[in-house]
Amino acid sequence: MNRKLLNNRKLRILFCIIAILLGIYYFSLPRTLFRSPYSTVVESKERQLLNARIAKDGQWRFPPVNKVPEKLKKAFITYEDKRFYYHWGVDPFSMVRAVYRNVKKRTVTSGGSTITMQVIRLSRGKKKRNIGNKLIETVLATRLEFRYSKESILALYASHAPFGGNVVGIDAASWRYFGRPATELSWAEAATLAVLPNAPSLIHISKNREMLKLKRDHLLRKLYRKKEISDIELELALCENLPDKPMLLPQFAYHLTNRIGKEKGNIIAKTTLHYDLQKRVSELAARKQELYSNNGINNLAILVADVKTGKVMAYVGNVWREEDKSLGSNVDIITSRRSSGSVFKPLLYAALLEEGELLPNMLIPDIPVSYGTFSPKNFNSTFNGAVPAHRVLERSLNVPSVTLLKEYGIEKFISLLHKLGFSTINRLADDYGLTLILGGAECSLWDLVNVYSKMAQKMNAVNEKTTQLTNLSFFENQVGRTESLKNFPFDLSSLWLTFESLANLNRPEEEGQWQTFSSSRKVAWKTGTSFGNRDAWSIGITPEFVVGVWVGNASGEGRPTLTGVGYAAPIMFDVFALLPKSRWFSMPAQEVTLEKICMKSGHLASQLCPETEQQWIPKAGLNTPQCPYHIEVNVTLDGKYRVNTDCESINNMKREVCFVLPPAEAWYYKNLNSDYRPLPPISPKCISTFGTSPLAIIYPRNDMSVVIPRKLEGEKNAVVFQATNTNPNALIFWHIDNDYVGTTSSPHQIAVHPTSGTHILTIVDSEGYSLKVRFNVKE
């Protein structure tokens, strides 16, 4: 009985030992075999390599492959482990042969390792090659066979095997040595890679090349004997030369690679970038940067998007220069916050059209204005008096744009920018003020292209069954965030009219230069230049594509000649020349109406408008007022004076229709429009019967801050005040704080030396009309 109990105890102990050994065996293999850092790899939509970033340990090690290409698979197995598919991690025949050879040679000449064992050895790092480690590799190799399939084990080996120098894995080796993906290698190239991991420190394309070729050719002949390749394939493969030296990897998406590395980690990113377009746009950017650098302009960025899908087609975050990082070439401008310049102006224009506050040809005041200490100026420091709204947009005039923003409302416009998707607009309305429309806010090229792309997407919905708008994305299999068409701020009529206005190729831009761009296609485009000439923008839209360009210095340094039209727009049109020709947006016939418009004022025509034409306007535009500028007046029979029935007989007067702008607008408008005829002056005998003042103060405007300039020697200069009078023969008498200053005749300009502080300027004309403004003097 005691012997039976003893035997049972021994069995239990034996079972426990076996269980412990099995547990040790089961858990002996780490859950993650390789913890090596990997490169970030960016591929085009055609699966061509665009860029790769070296791993943190200085190795070119691409993320692991899931499958080994057929040629490489056969080459590896033939050279390294011909019974790979028939053993469980250890090949007894190879082990016995290796022991026999080592004993016979009295040195280690053969290891007898299988591919599975080599995977274990590679995963354990640089361990000494002794019997103890060999036994561990043997045990772990059998365990690896239970966890992974043969194909997965082969993929692990191919992904982590050394190929000489700092090249690890077949993907990195294929690109470094042959400039092609592993799937496109020839038999000779596949055989070359297969023999390299055997002794990568001794045999390399730059070391012992004769021995490398002998090994490669030996493997090719073995493949022939196994009938893996034909006679002709063998003959051609044996004739192929070895690569001369490692090739530089493509560098066509440096900044996108860094962005993906930060956002997604070290992955093989299959992007939506078009290989040929990305390459050509990168080369274009490099040529332009070299040219622009002569003027101290060192950075530029280009972003191209497919409107229909919202997919990025080309992404050049900057022109990368390894040799001179101090010039900011490492900065990805596409995601950087930069002063917006004038690129928001079309959005304000579209918003006003949509709300029925504006018509395309409606005259907008363009005269000196002041809002506290802010006095906007047009780029060329001139004023037009009054300008059609679409010309305000085309010429990017600052003063009328500020007027329109004030009418629309700053907070309301900020809310609109948020709805559109500008992520950088995050301050209060008071912080931005009216400078918001002139570049007082920041935006990124990514947001800008994203917003304009969605505008084009909505326009395409006229003829397509589009129900959603898609945000930009550069990943092939990643769907960008979508939003309903109904939630997008602009209607089709406002977008169409905005794009029509922006499609005028021959026009003066905000930089005040007349520029003609030759293009075989119709493109809606807008440029922008930030304060201090620090940022030059250009954005172009067609139904198929959106192209965004930024030019400047990443450091924020401005350059005197840097403008959107001079530097960014030429690049934008060069990029469009690389793209397929595009159709144009269809008119949204259901959302526009053909109405009679006054040709002079751009308003809905009144009965007094002498010249009218039919124009397409948004249906909301029917709520705008009729032309206020054409009025009927009584004049003397010779037309020289205005009169009324209180001072003149009806038999001595006639009715005339006149186009009349407010005095300040008329003063500037008539200088640029020779056909403008001011109202005849009031007859001297009728002055007391007219209540409308003919006077207007041009400078200073009410509540304006006036800065007194100084000469080099410190002496104060005079300030020139200006006024106008619709009566060209009238005199104007000038007073500051009730002190008489002087008298002027047309043109009414006077040089004064006011002291610091707040003052009241009063002007009185010879007909008794007067006008006052308050101004503040700063020295």
Amino acid 702 reads: N
User: What are the residues facing 529 on neighbouring strands?
Assistant: 536
DSSP string, 624-685: SPBPSSEEEEEEETTSSSB--TTTS-GGGEEEEEEE---HHHHHHHHHH-TT--PPPPBPGG
DSSP string, 6-71: HHHHHHHHHHHHHHHHHHHHHHSS-SSS------EEEE-TTS-EEEEE--TTS-EEPPPPSS--HH
Are both 65 and 136 inside the same structural domain?
yes
Amino acid 410 reads: I
Neighbours of 68 (CB within 10 A): 22
Q: Pick from 459, 565, 579, 582: which is nearest to 523 by CA?
A: 582
Number of domains in the chain: 6
How many angstroms separate the CA atoms of 43 and 301, rounded?
A: 20
User: 422: domain CATH number?
Assistant: 3.40.710.10
Q: What integer pLDDT is reported at residue 26 of this predicted model?
A: 63
How many angstroms separate the CA atoms of 398 and 386, rounded?
A: 13
Q: Pick from 366, 307, 517, 338: which is nearest to 440 by CA?
A: 338
Are both 538 and 616 inside the same structural domain?
no
Are both 604 and 654 inside the same structural domain?
no
Q: What integer pLDDT is reported at residue 5 of this predicted model?
A: 63
Q: What is the mean pLDDT of each run of 10 residues along the chain (779 residues)?
A: 66 72 67 87 93 92 92 93 85 67 54 82 78 78 85 94 92 93 94 87 79 93 94 94 89 93 90 96 96 94 95 95 77 96 96 96 89 81 91 92 95 95 92 93 96 94 73 78 78 95 66 52 91 94 97 94 93 95 90 95 95 95 94 90 86 91 84 86 79 82 80 70 85 85 86 90 80 87
How many angstroms separate the CA atoms of 270 and 268, rounded?
A: 6
Residue with tokens 């299959």: 270
Going by the DSSP 8-state scheme, the letter that residue 568 receives in this structure is I
The reported pTM is 0.84
Q: Is residue 94 part of a domain?
A: yes
Q: Is residue 403 part of a domain?
A: yes
Q: Is residue 149 part of a domain?
A: yes
Q: Is residue 319 part of a domain?
A: no
**CA distances, 250 to each of 51, 59, 672 (Å):** 5, 16, 55
Are both 176 and 219 inside the same structural domain?
yes
Q: Is residue 725 part of a domain?
A: yes
Q: What share of the chain is helix, strand, coil (3-state, %, to 5)?
A: 40, 20, 40
For helices 445-460 and 492-502, what crossing angle results, to 10°? 120
| Long-range CB contact pairs, 485-489, < 8 A, 24+ | 485/458, 485/461, 487/419, 488/419, 488/454, 488/458, 489/351, 489/354, 489/416, 489/419, 489/420
Are both 80 and 140 inside the same structural domain?
yes
Are both 57 and 179 inside the same structural domain?
yes
Contact 278, 317 (CB under 8 A): no
Are both 234 and 345 inside the same structural domain?
no
User: What are the residues facing 592 on neighbouring strands?
Assistant: 618
Q: What integer pLDDT is reported at residue 141 of this predicted model?
A: 79
Are both 337 and 453 inside the same structural domain?
yes
Amino acid 13 reads: I
Q: Is residue 272 part of a domain?
A: no
Helix (H, G, I), strand (E, B) or coil at 552: strand
Are both 442 and 522 inside the same structural domain?
yes
Contact 275, 352 (CB under 8 A): no
Q: Is 718 left (phi over 0), alpha (psi -120 to 50) or beta?
A: beta
Q: Is residue 371 part of a domain?
A: yes
Q: Pick from 146, 574, 602: which is nearest to 362 by CA?
A: 602
Q: What integer pLDDT is reported at residue 465 of this predicted model?
A: 63
Amino acid 171 reads: D
Mapping DSSP onto H, E and C, the string for 379-409 reads CCCCCCEEEEHHHHHHCCCHHHHHHHHHHHC
How many angstroms separate the CA atoms of 126 and 52, rounded?
A: 26
Q: Is residue 422 part of a domain?
A: yes
Residue 747 belongs to what domain range? 695-778
Phi first, then psi, for residue 55 (nearest 5°) are -65, 165
How many angstroms separate the CA atoms of 375 and 590, rounded?
A: 41
Are both 99 and 157 inside the same structural domain?
yes
Are both 54 and 203 inside the same structural domain?
yes
Are both 549 and 613 inside the same structural domain?
no
Among 239, 270, 292, identify where a domain stops. Answer: 239
User: 137: domain CATH number?
Assistant: 1.10.3810.10
Contact 686, 755 (CB under 8 A): no
Q: Is 536 left (phi over 0), alpha (psi -120 to 50) or beta?
A: beta
Pairing of the two strands 40-43 and 268-270? parallel
